[in-house]
Structure 1
Amino acid sequence: MRLAVRISRGLATLVSLAVLVGSGYGWVAYRTLGDSITHVAGLPAGNGAADDPAENILLVGDDHRPANASPQVLAELSTGEDGGSTNTDTMMVLHTPAAGGKPTVISLPRDSWVDIPGVGKGKLNSAFADGAADGGGDAGGMKLLIETVQNLTGLQIDHFARVSLLGFYEIAQVLGPIQVCLNQAVDDPYSGTVLPAGVSTLDAKQALSFVRQRHGLPRGDLDREVRQQYFLAAELGKVSSSGVLLNPVRLHRLLSAVGSAVQTDPGLDLLSFASQFSSLSAGDVTFTTIPTLGTPTIRDSSGANVSIVAVDTAALPAFITRIVGEPSAYTDATAAVPSSVTVWVVNGTGQAGLAAG
């Protein structure tokens, strides 16, 4: 099994705050942290105000790098082979049920081919950039991404947390080395990943390169989802046992990295969020991915060939219902006007042309 170290740039960061609940130093540090985190009014109108004690938090990690970054910083981030973007390469919904139930993390593959409101069909990871364009900024980007996720899943997003590429690197430095095991050696110039087969212990630079690797993976984006889930499970145990939480110097470094790297909506109470995880272990969190049909190559509206993740929209409602119950978006839905329905056919066979016509 190929394992990796994809940090949930939102969840792994916020879970680290669980220690603040039981530490006098942590309470002081938390106050400072609250002042340093950037708040963005990125929730669509009406979101975040529901009385339902269950919550859905969208966790986002994107590929943007700091403005005017020096060549030395870019070298540490291994971004020399790409131009950078605001595309969101990690997207997960953290569902925390009412009455203290165990949480579930739902991964949303970045290449999922979805309907983006006002734009049309596109990859899920482009929704933020589409919303941020033309003066929308970070708030416009988050709103469009959240609307896209809500339309796809039927879940209302109550809060969000967004972490940058540099933020991941700085947090990984504080948390220390991560061990992975590869079936085959890797040499990927796009992400900067150069690792042998077998067990390797990765520093922050290597970990960042490894989690950014997309090229050369057998199932592409779907393999990265497995890595994300593996890392989160490992981090839930590591953060509480590595000594970071009991070491004021290391905790201060971690909180400084978090504060400079995280954006949230103004209504997300990090202390309350952390308290929900203070007694959880890795086995208490369920990790899952929305149902998919594979990774076909299709032609987009411009005629270009695009490799995507085909979402199994027929199986999605039952999948979501098993996790959270039946969302109101399902029970309140009305029948579509037949003339407005578009059927999208994917050829999953090896014989060309069967999906045409």
Structure 2
Amino acid sequence: MALTSLVLLGATGYGYGMYNEIVGGYTTANVLDEGAGGPKPADGATDILLVGLDSRVDAQGNPLSKELLARLNGGKADGELNTDTLILMRIPNDGQKAVGISIPRDSYVDIPGFGKHKINSAYARAKATEMRKLRAGGESNQAQLEVRSNQAGAAQLIKTIQGLTGAQIDNYAEVNLLGFSEITDAVGGVPICLVKSVNDSYSGARFPAGEQEVSGVQALQFVRQRHGLPNGDLDRIVRQQVFMKSMATKVLSAGTLTDQSKLDNLLAAIKKSVVLDQKWNIVQFAKQMQGMTGGALDFKTIPTGRPDLKTPEDGDAIEIKPAEVKSFVQGLLGGQQAPPSSGAPSSSGSRPADASNNAITVDVRNGNGKDGLAAQVAELLAGQGFNPGDTKTTAARTTTVVRYPRGEKANADKVADALGGSVTVEQDTNVAKGRVVVLLGKDYKATDGLAGQPLLRLDPPGGVRAQQPPPPRIGSNGAPCVN
């Protein structure tokens, strides 16, 4: 987002000198297969893999100082390198809203050539293998060893993600601890809101409850914390999604793009710690993204099963059903139907969005008495692919029902299932064809069905309804209050 914003500004009059400096100023890596990176991907979307590394070296392979690691609360370099943040960004060819798909770090998946392991070890396993080969071949320059083995790790991670999701990765971007801290510092602060105060020695996160702004090291601490959170890494994913949406809005705002010092700091941070694939045509990408704003960006999480899956070597992991993940990812493209699947929910109760839901328009009537509930339910149903209709307040009622026109009970059943499955479904000749009407009664609680999901269409990872919090309040700074 930062790099694209700078290129856009350069291409529209900021200055030819700065434009050249931007386009030629970042580190690249040869990590993509032949055929990737084309202008119009055949699978219907430009797919970008965004990776957050816990690396203790910069993009050029130089080690970070002890003092800097201490400031970042990065800990001691122990030879391990994990990709603790994985987001697949889908940008449809037809101009629809972009979607960032989070993949939990502990997802138990097949890593080609290594068997089944947690997905955050794919990069590290290939990196370690390549490092041994390079040393055996006589390479002794430590910076070169880091850069070349990292490329092997990134290439392995891309293969793993492609196998899991069915998407063809067209571009790749990674950022390390230092880069994330300095980029957010250059932006000048991102609004967040916490339900409760936190004090975590592992990440260094020490924040009061409520609304606040974070940047630099504090921003890094906010998105890294998982210890001490009710749902561990799954809560961390929601934090990252909320933060990135807020940051995208901030970076693409006029105030950021027209501030000379922020632009200079942003460019310096990108050059130091961001790695992009060698085929990424930044100018072409910038033109494609001219309509992008924070509001044109949603975040979701792949469907997951049980969070305590026992594994032979990796301890507890998150259960993943590849067929469900592929169906979910493909279903996010409105012009394509999701691949056939059983339609059965996973063991956790989560269900991928059905691409055919967008043919069903849902009107919501609030007879519950709780202000704003109709709009909230309509938003959450839209997050499951349903076409939002109108929302109104209606006379108070006791029970919640879903009404449908003659011959369209299947549509109503889909809506009822999305609301929790225990909702009464009944025919109503006054309902127009292609529409479904939801009448919310006093029996509809905020924790029923979809109402247990956070706002802003940030799908809760894990899918275990009993573990999910009620919808968060939105702070006056625009950020949802999260764990």
Q: TM-score, normalised by structure 1?
A: 0.81
In the TM superposition, residue 236 of structure 1 has moved relative to its aligned partner by 2.3
Letter paired with 1:56: D
1:21-170 equivalent positions in 2, closer than 5 A = 23-25=12-14, 27-49=16-38, 52=41, 54-66=45-57, 67-80=62-75, 83=78, 85-135=80-130, 137-170=149-182
In the TM superposition, residue 300 of structure 1 has moved relative to its aligned partner by 2.3
| Residue deviations 1:55-104 (CA, integer Å, cap 9, x gap) | 11111111102344323211221123774742111111111111333222
1:247-286 equivalent positions in 2, closer than 5 A = 247-286=259-298
Contact kept, 8 Å, 1:154 with 1:330, in 2: the verdict is no
The CA distance in 2 between the partners of 1:30 and 1:171, in whole Å, is 19
User: What is the match of residue 305 of structure 2?
Assistant: 293
Contact kept, 8 Å, 2:183 with 2:269, in 1: the verdict is yes
Highest Rg: 1 or 2? 2
In the TM superposition, residue 35 of structure 1 has moved relative to its aligned partner by 2.1
Q: Does the alignment pair 1:320 with 2:311?
A: no
1:235-246 equivalent positions in 2, closer than 5 A = 235-241=247-253, 243-246=255-258
| Residue deviations 1:13-69 (CA, integer Å, cap 9, x gap) | 345436425542255323212322111111134433585363111111111023443
Question: Structure 1 308/122 Cα, relative in aligned 2: closer, same or farther at 3 Å?
Answer: same
In the TM superposition, residue 248 of structure 1 has moved relative to its aligned partner by 2.3
1:328-343 equivalent positions in 2, closer than 5 A = none
In the TM superposition, residue 247 of structure 1 has moved relative to its aligned partner by 1.9
The CA distance in 1 between the partners of 2:251 and 2:179, in whole Å, is 17
Letter paired with 2:121: S
Contact kept, 8 Å, 1:161 with 1:264, in 2: the verdict is yes
Contact kept, 8 Å, 1:179 with 1:201, in 2: the verdict is yes
Instruction: Indicate the SS of the match to 1:216.
Output: coil
Question: Structure 1 321/99 Cα, relative in aligned 2: closer, same or farther at 3 Å?
Answer: closer
The CA distance in 1 between the partners of 2:226 and 2:4, in whole Å, is 26
User: What is the match of residue 353 of structure 1?
Assistant: none
Letter paired with 1:166: L
Question: Structure 1 81/326 Cα, relative in aligned 2: closer, same or farther at 3 Å?
Answer: farther
The CA distance in 1 between the partners of 2:10 and 2:203, in whole Å, is 37
Q: Which runs of 5+ in 2 are unaligned?
A: 132-148, 341-346, 349-461, 465-483
State, as a whole percentage, how many aligned pairs show the same letter: 40
The CA distance in 1 between the partners of 2:252 and 2:37, in whole Å, is 29
User: What is the match of residue 229 of structure 1?
Assistant: 241
The CA distance in 2 between the partners of 1:171 and 1:26, in whole Å, is 22
Contact kept, 8 Å, 2:7 with 2:19, in 1: the verdict is no
1:307 corresponds, among 307, 311, 316, to: 316
Q: Does the alignment pair 1:220 with 2:232?
A: yes
User: What is the match of residue 444 of structure 2?
Assistant: none
In the TM superposition, residue 314 of structure 1 has moved relative to its aligned partner by 4.2
| Residue deviations 1:180-220 (CA, integer Å, cap 9, x gap) | 22222211111111122223332411111121112122222
Mean Cα deviation higher: 140-149 or 319-328: 319-328
| Residue deviations 1:201-255 (CA, integer Å, cap 9, x gap) | 3241111112111212222222122122211221222123362211223212211
Q: TM-score, normalised by structure 2?
A: 0.61
Contact kept, 8 Å, 2:40 with 2:93, in 1: the verdict is no
The CA distance in 1 between the partners of 2:32 and 2:338, in whole Å, is 17
| Residue deviations 1:130-152 (CA, integer Å, cap 9, x gap) | 11123261221111101100110
The CA distance in 1 between the partners of 2:180 and 2:337, in whole Å, is 35
Contact kept, 8 Å, 2:11 with 2:19, in 1: the verdict is no
Letter paired with 2:14: Y
Contact kept, 8 Å, 2:331 with 2:337, in 1: the verdict is no
Letter paired with 1:313: P
The CA distance in 1 between the partners of 2:335 and 2:295, in whole Å, is 25
Letter paired with 1:292: T
Letter paired with 1:41: N
Instruction: Indicate the SS of the match to 1:114.
Output: strand
Question: Structure 1 50/78 Cα, relative in aligned 2: closer, same or farther at 3 Å?
Answer: same
Instruction: Indicate the SS of the match to 2:252.
Output: helix
Contact kept, 8 Å, 1:56 with 1:95, in 2: the verdict is yes
Contact kept, 8 Å, 1:15 with 1:274, in 2: the verdict is yes
Instruction: Indicate the SS of the match to 2:47.
Output: strand
Letter paired with 2:28: H
User: What is the match of residue 441 of structure 2?
Assistant: none
Question: Structure 1 284/326 Cα, relative in aligned 2: closer, same or farther at 3 Å?
Answer: closer
Instruction: Indicate the SS of the match to 2:331.
Output: helix
Task: Name which structure has the greater RCO, CA cutoff 8 Å, separation 6+.
Answer: 1
